[in-house]
A and B are shown apart, each in its own frame.
Chain A
């Protein structure tokens, strides 16, 4: 999604990539969280979570998916 929606290259996007170094500022991070909520049909808690890297986002989404009992199909889509 970072590649498709934000125009980053696959080479740039790794779990340890720092968002600020990718040019993804706090506003873009919130934008991305909104996109993730829509894609996975989940609801972020609104609690402040320290997010500095791409991996931080992935971990947060995984945690919310598990906590909210969301079932993903093989393509990663919320059913």
Chain B
């Protein structure tokens, strides 16, 4: 088995244009949640969302944009940052040894909604000819290959909120087993459209606006939590065999050591603590580390009434007594719930914690819930004397649970 390391990270999120701005904003407790600036928000119960506010379109020539939905644009920008940090160039033979593992919940949601509007509401017009290639789920993966000449295997994973964690886990597995040498792994999501947001409202999982502090409306693990805030963005990791990274003298950010993936098989939306605990245990087992050796967990922590209790129970099941000693952060309070991209964004956050030895806070946790009684770091960022191994949890509708473990690399 090959050891698998991370040699590049990239993220374009509601907290800024790159991975550094994400990690810094999380540690400072800055929220990316705001009222969307669009006339159609009048049709929503709440205009709150976590949009990417840095320029996106301007990075691409007009002719290129003809086939790039916003989700592909975000995905390309995150991949570009990660590739740049890795120092890899896939135009040559290396491109044949690199795979693409990408997660998305909805693919090109903006394009699809526009096509519906044109077809159903405005019958005189017709969808653009590039509609299909912009909304298909694998559009971002295809465009990443085209842009960076990555020619190995490519896969698109869609398991709702765990999509990009699954993508990273499967990329890790492929390199570990020696099938490929490199991977671009992560995910993108861009679903802040009227139709999609109304559908989420109907599901009753979105946070009620905090009347005084709307940016603090998502309150994971707090007694007064009421749900999550939809967000958009993308994040990418460059994974590589440790042997390859060492041979070329690459900067190694971390080693991925464990991945667990389970299915609840119980309910399409209600999480199952048992299924989540099994995924954590599977990742711990593969990593060969015990409960006391995990120093930080980036929780799935969506801020729903049911979800946060389930995850708390699952962590207790998986870690036993050690559960109370682990600092746990729910960063969705600040960057929002990026659906198919969120697992990758949170893995970037967890790797940032590893590198800075600083755990980001669970923001807006002002009223502890007796049913959520672990250490969620409510007081603000916390620097630890020892922070060498981190876990990131991602649980998706449909009952999929994906858990990743990374540690500080030492040869």
Please determine whether B62 and A5 come into contact, CB atoms closer than 8 angstroms: yes
Please determine whether A28 and B66 come into contact, CB atoms closer than 8 angstroms: yes
**Which residues 18-35 in A have Cβ within 8 Å of B in the complex?**
23-24, 27-28, 30-31, 34
Q: Report if B249 contacts A (CB, 8 A).
A: no
Please determine whether B126 and A6 come into contact, CB atoms closer than 8 angstroms: no
How far apart sit A45 and B63, CA to CA, in the bound complex (Å)?
A: 25
Count of residues in B whose CB is under 8 Å from the partner chain: 10
Please determine whether A23 and B128 come into contact, CB atoms closer than 8 angstroms: no
Of chain B, the residue at the smallest CB distance from A5 is B62
Please determine whether A28 and B63 come into contact, CB atoms closer than 8 angstroms: yes
Q: Point out the residues of chain A lying under 8 angstroms from B55, CB to CB.
A: none
Main secondary structure of the interface of A (DSSP, over half): helix
CB proximity of A22 to chain B, nearest CB, Å: 8
CB proximity of B133 to chain A, nearest CB, Å: 7
Please determine whether A7 and B130 come into contact, CB atoms closer than 8 angstroms: no
> Could you say which of B62, B63, B130 has the most chain A C-beta atoms within 10 Å of its C-beta?
B63
Q: Report if A71 contacts B (CB, 8 A).
A: no
CB-contact partner of A27 in B61, B62, B67, under 8 A: B67
**Which residues 90-138 in B have Cβ within 8 Å of A in the complex?**
126, 128-130, 133
Please determine whether B63 and A34 come into contact, CB atoms closer than 8 angstroms: no
Please determine whether A34 and B129 come into contact, CB atoms closer than 8 angstroms: yes
Q: Report if A8 contacts B (CB, 8 A).
A: yes
Q: Point out the residues of chain A lying under 8 angstroms from B63, CB to CB.
A: 6-8, 23-24, 28
Of chain B, the residue at the smallest CB distance from A23 is B63
Q: Point out the residues of chain A lying under 8 angstroms from B126, CB to CB.
A: 34
Q: Point out the residues of chain A lying under 8 angstroms from B133, CB to CB.
A: 27
Besides A27-B66, A28-B63, 10 more A-B contacts (Cβ < 8 Å) are A6-B62, A6-B63, A24-B63, A27-B133, A28-B66, A28-B67, A30-B129, A31-B66, A31-B130, A34-B128
A-B contact list, 8 entries, CB within 8 Å:
A8-B63, A27-B66, A27-B67, A27-B129, A27-B133, A30-B129, A31-B129, A31-B130
Mark A residues whose CB is within 8 Å of B: 5-8, 23-24, 27-28, 30-31, 34
